[in-house]
Amino acid sequence: MKRLPVLAFLVWVCALFYVGIFLFVGGFLLVRLEVNRTSTCEDVLLPSSAGSGSDFCHAQPRFRRAVVLIIDALKADFARYDPSNLSPRPYENKLPVLDELVASRPAHGRLFTFQADPPTTTMQRIKGFTTGSLPTFIDVGNNFASSAILEDNLIHQLGQAGKRVVFMGDDTWENLFPKKFHRSLPFPSFNVKDLHTVDNGILQHIYPTMKGDDWDVLIAHFLGVDHCGHRYGPDHPAMADKLTQMNGVIRSVVEHLQNDTLLVVMGDHGMTDTGDHGGESPKETEAALFLYSPSPLFPAPETKADPTVVPQTDLVPTLALLLGVPIPYSSVGQVLLPLFPLPGQAEGQGGGPDRAEALWINVKQVNRFLETYSSMAKDIPPDRLSELQAAFARVSAAYLSALHQGEPASPELIRSMQAYLSSVRDTCRASWARFHPVKMAAGLVLLAGACLLCYVLSELSSAVLAEGGVLRAPLVVGLCVAGCVAVAQLSSQGYVDVHWCLAAAAASSEVLFLWRNCRRSNRSSSSSQKGRVAPPRLLSAALVVLLLRCASLLSDSYVIAEGRAVTFLLCSLGLYVPLRLNWDGLLLPPPAPDSQKPPGALPGLPAWVVRREGAALCLSLCVLVGSLYLSLAMHACREEQGGTCQPSPFLSPLARVQDSRLRNMHYLLSVAALAGWTHLLYRWLRHYGNLNSPGVAVVAARWLLPGAAVLTGLHWAVGSAPEDAFRGLAELIRLAQSALPRAACAVLGLGAALLWLDPLTVFLKHRAPAGPHRAASAPPPPPSYRASIGISPQAELHHLIPQLYQRIRRSLEDGPAEGGAGEDGRPAVEAYGLGTVYSAPLLLFAGLLGLGLLLLHPESMAPAFLLLLLEAAALLHIHAACSTLYSQQGDYSKAFSVPWAPVVLWSLAATQFFHATGHLPTFPSLQWGAAFVGFPDGHTGTLLPATLVTLNTFSAHILFAVACPLLLFWPLVCEVRWNRSGRSGGGEESEDVIMEMRLRENPQQFSSALLQLAVRYLLVSGAQVLASVCAAAVLRRHLMVWQVFAPKLMFEASGFVVGSVCLLLGVTLILRVDMAVSGWFKRLLPDTSR
Amino acid sequence: MWDTEIRGMASAHAIIASSIFMATILPAILLEKFSVYGSHLVWLYSVAGSVAVVNIAVFWLLGISPPTKRHTLSHKVSKLVRSCLYFLLSCLFFHTVVVLYGAPLLESALETFSLAVLLSTMTTLRCLCMLGPNVQAWIRVFSRDGAMSVWDTSLQITTGCSVLGAWLGAFPIPLDWDRPWQVWPISCTLGSTVGFLTGLLVAPVWIHWHRKQLIYKSK
Ligand SMILES: [Zn+2]
Ligand SMILES: [Zn+2]
């Protein structure tokens, strides 16, 4: 069989898809240029005639010091106090101190709603309220690898102005602002299970620091509330404890404050009802902001005109001017006016600018940024830009003339300055959502081309493989073109844009390949039918379902309801199969044979075989539909689905379940599912005689698989124990929490490695020889060995392939072997498990992989994995029964070719189990807990947790992709079911029971069928990527694009990448097995035929 | 002979179709506060009832049902009982299938069951009328070469169209248009009714068009 060409074709096709995705994503995801200039004290922002002096850094600031308490995920609701609410929820009315301060000293403190820009992740928010700039979509991914902020920011400005900034709390800050702090006490933030380390660390140090005098700005970032939300959700007693603790912290910090100090208490974002955040729903974006000072902070009493909702960007200019430092260069925020004195009132308020001055500084700074930015990047529309410049000219003329006449600025002027600032921010917000249409179009075209190529390749797989060397020319041309483009770019622009080089390479190689095939098929169309693209049977059901699935990706409603939509389609296609078979008259045995028809005219099956296959089909269908239905109970809920959707109770980790009986039930269910998973795999392998071989692969099946399952069960037991139940054993539990999953992973890894090392699961049994026999290679095992396996005589009958050796000998016809062992007509060698020599290692590998992936999920998800196994088995059996039944029609020549319907079913099942394992195509629903399996104390690097979360997210894609080649083998594996019994009827020849050895007899067809199957799977998944890419491109100005389509595109594309890599892995394993089988035959033949 | 058969079928179909319209219009005149969406179940059962009655009457009058070998009373009674049983089973079957497709299990179970009743009326009842309570014959009819008369072909077409209509009717449910007909199971019942009507209309036309290709084996 041609191993390398198959792999080369697949890698090439995958690479084409990757380039298309890369190109599109590069043009689609928002980019904002970072302006790397910084404001300085020398910036003349105030006109020189103003009384406060030209260099305002040295002027007396309004506040000398500030304490910033950031309580992560302090939702706006948490901070409100409603005395009439007599039975508050755990998160309500827990911060009475804010209300007391506001009520008793209204001029000193005020509570606002702090409006966060999405994405509401902590790092993005810290960036937002220190730089005053707006985030872009692509930054979301940086939350793992938080890197230093390069743009001008508040911390930098404070340092420049000589303020000593002391930081304590969430270590994200330390990564964002390395070496910027006078003193910093970072605590690890990544472990969401840890509610107290960060907070207690801060509490230890905050009061001594405040009493000391070596600080000007103190930033403390508490994480307890956020982690409590992630762990338990807001509606949990732990949240009440945490908020009460925060209440105490605020109270005592207020007591420690001095008159020249400003206190800021704020949340960086809110949280949903499940305690997560990241999206843009009001619950996530609305945080609390509380400003307080022992000296009067708000010069005027509160009026209706004062804002109650403050955008987060506005904090930057406000704090900067209150503390007397320049506003960071790239800030587009607007000063919070109520904090500044009215014009003419300033004298009584210490230092600092009044409202008009503050706004003027702000307007100048924003205008300067706008000028710099528009000279660097061209993404702000020119007409909008000139409008803004005209507005600035008007405002500045009005302000300067008022200043020269010595009048205080009029309210209209203040309003027009505010209007200018707001319109700049809106313009920036609109134009930073910009796209690169050419790249997007190129990516789209490349993806469509890759899909077309997949189709052509799947139709021509045998011809293409037979020819050999077809791939060489496209690859060479692609490389050359890429080189040319790179050189051209270097000479014309001076730098190389990787996007276009890759695009050119991919496109040229693709076009060349398609063109050559087109020409060849034209040439050969007259001579022979082979090597020609057969006209597709349009509108077959599988195609319709695939089209519906792709169309559903273009509608936000269907993307939101994706889990159910996919289940619906899967169910429909599954139920269509028997209806179609019945329509073709193949489901039921044909009516009693007509007497006039000669028997054997049709290659029909015996009636009882048809009946049995039909029953197997219906049974598998029931299993399929049943597992589909049950798996609906495992779905999570999207924010957009609202109250109609109840998230599955299986989703939360067991430690969160408070009712101990329920917890035990869940645990037992999970362990039962785990045992079921292991047992089914074990049973299957034993049934087909794959557990007898002396090879190491069997060790993996016999010992490592159950061993890993036991370790997983133990890990769950330890992990689900409530924390305070075994205080004495805390250390031990901690150790077990890290050691058990690591051990399980090691065992699984060892199993996989052994499998790759020696994937053969074949056991040779030599019969008592009639002639002289050399028992050198494999001595016959002692009888006790066989008994201990528990192989029944029946199973033994099933799975030896006795005639195999004879066949091979006959075909090879080596001369001196004439007087061999098989003279008496009985085979000399029996090979157990040879019939499933390909599928057994693959199945075992998938089983080991599945256990590993299950380990990364919440414990209660184990039933979902069992359902996955059942559904996959049902799909395989449906496919096998169908191909047996269709073989009545007589087109058995294309025996190995897998039709579209099972491939579409298989791919849909992967998507379906993405949802049925509790995942959703949204970023907040990522299961971060997966990163802590085996690492309860968090990580130092970012690669490992990112890998773990990826594995967790795409586990369904991974499993189905790895197991995809099983579709090719299953009809052969199931062949024995009727054929062997046919022999007992006497008519059939036992030679037919050779199962997967058929593939070895036709290596050419084997390789082409394998290539075809893999390419079809790639096409079906690639078509879905193409559809979501189209959705993102066409609907890029849609209201829901950042909420629905862009995340869906990211998930679909990543799922495709992960899935295709795993498909390659599965195919490689098959090729590895094939190599091993070849070697085995080579060893076997000379040895026994001597 | 062809023409008379097709003409007879066309008129029978026209009667059934007009009965559906009557079942929609009459209650609207007679009953207060009747609307297809608002009092959906009333409409549904009125349509189902009228289709059932008209179907039974038409097929009894035309004498399409298979000739019975025995004419004893007990035989007829047992056939009637079996027919009722099959109808009930088919309702349960459709209910199960619809639930497996994702319909809510407990809440609005009555609505789901009503949809199953409607579907059974449009499919199983016609099977019962034409083929009698004989599952073997039903399965035989729904294969490519299984039709033995124009009536069998029309049965294939109407049944397929009704089921397909109900299937298509599920599509608009997730859309966020907030229309009254998106409420479960209105779109599905409307879909299956429309599908059934289409089937009634299409069947004679299609058979007329393909009369050359249709060759029926004698029983
Ligand atoms: Zn946060
Ligand atoms: Zn968080």
pLDDT at A178: 84
In chain B, whose CA is at the least distance from the CA of A623? Answer: B100
Angle of helix B124-131 relative to helix B150-169, nearest 10 degrees?
Answer: 170
In chain A, whose CA is at the least distance from the CA of B167? Answer: A572
pLDDT at A602: 47
What are the angstrom distances between the C-alpha of A100 and each of A79, A82, A111, A256, A268?
Answer: 12, 11, 11, 17, 23
What are the angstrom distances between the C-alpha of B103 and each of A340, A629, A632, A646, B115?
Answer: 60, 10, 11, 15, 11
The reply to whether omega before B185 is within 30° of 0 (cis) is yes
What is the number of other CB atoms lying within 10 angstroms of the CB of residue A618? 14
Return d(Cα A565, Cα A628) in angstroms, integer: 12
For domain A31-40+51-339, the question of CATH label 3.40.720.10 is answered with yes
Say yes or no for a CB contact (<8 Å) between B175 and A557.
yes
Return d(Cα A533, Cα A521) in angstroms, integer: 7
pLDDT at A793: 44
Return d(Cα A34, Cα A147) in angstroms, integer: 14
pLDDT at A137: 57
Say yes or no for a CB contact (<8 Å) between A583 and B139.
no
Residue A125 Cα to ligand 1 midpoint, Å, equals 7
Return d(Cα A919, Cα A925) in angstroms, integer: 7
Say yes or no for a CB contact (<8 Å) between B102 and A564.
yes
Q: Is the pTM of this model over 0.90?
A: no
CA-based torsion, A663, A668, A672, A678: positive or negative: positive
Taking the CA of A230 as reference, the closest ligand is: 2
Return d(Cα B78, Cα B85) in angstroms, integer: 10
C-alpha distance from A559 to closest chain B C-alpha (Å)? 10
Say yes or no for a CB contact (<8 Å) between B100 and A629.
yes
Return d(Cα A451, Cα A38) in angstroms, integer: 48
| E strand map for A350-477 | none
pLDDT at B192: 94
Residue A244 Cα to ligand 1 midpoint, Å, equals 19
Report DSSP state, residue A82.
-
Say yes or no for a CB contact (<8 Å) between A583 and B142.
yes
pLDDT at A446: 94
For tokens 């998930």, what's the residue?
A: A1051
pLDDT at A168: 93
Residue among A785, A2, A800 at smallest CA distance from A464:
A2
A587 contacts on B by Cβ (under 8 Å): 139
Residue among A581, A475, A497 at smallest CA distance from A888:
A581
Q: What does the block give as tokens for A532? A: 């020609």
Q: How far is residue A355 CA from its own chain's centroid?
A: 48
Angle of helix B150-169 relative to helix B109-122, nearest 10 degrees?
Answer: 160
C-alpha distance from B150 to closest chain A C-alpha (Å)? 17
Q: Are B58 and B65 in contact (CB under 8 A)?
A: no
DSSP A855-892: HTS-GGGHHHHHHHHHHHHHHHHHHHHHHHHHGGGS-G
Domain boundaries, given as residue ranges, for chain A: 31-40+51-339, 763-832
CA-based torsion, A355, A361, A363, A369: positive or negative: negative
A557 contacts on B by Cβ (under 8 Å): 174-176
Residues lower than pLDDT 50 in chain A: 48-54, 139-146, 528-533, 593-602, 768-800, 802-803, 809, 811-828, 893, 980-992, 1089-1090
Taking the CA of A125 as reference, the closest ligand is: 1
pLDDT at A982: 44
Chain B contact present for A625, CB below 8 A:
yes
Q: Are A1060 and A14 in contact (CB under 8 A)?
A: yes
End-to-end CA distance of chain B: 18
> Which of A545, A553, A586, A629 should be substituted to probe chain B, the one whose Cβ sees the most B Cβ atoms within 10 Å?
A629
Return d(Cα B172, Cα B187) in angstroms, integer: 7
Residue among A75, A72, A81 at smallest CA distance from A115:
A75
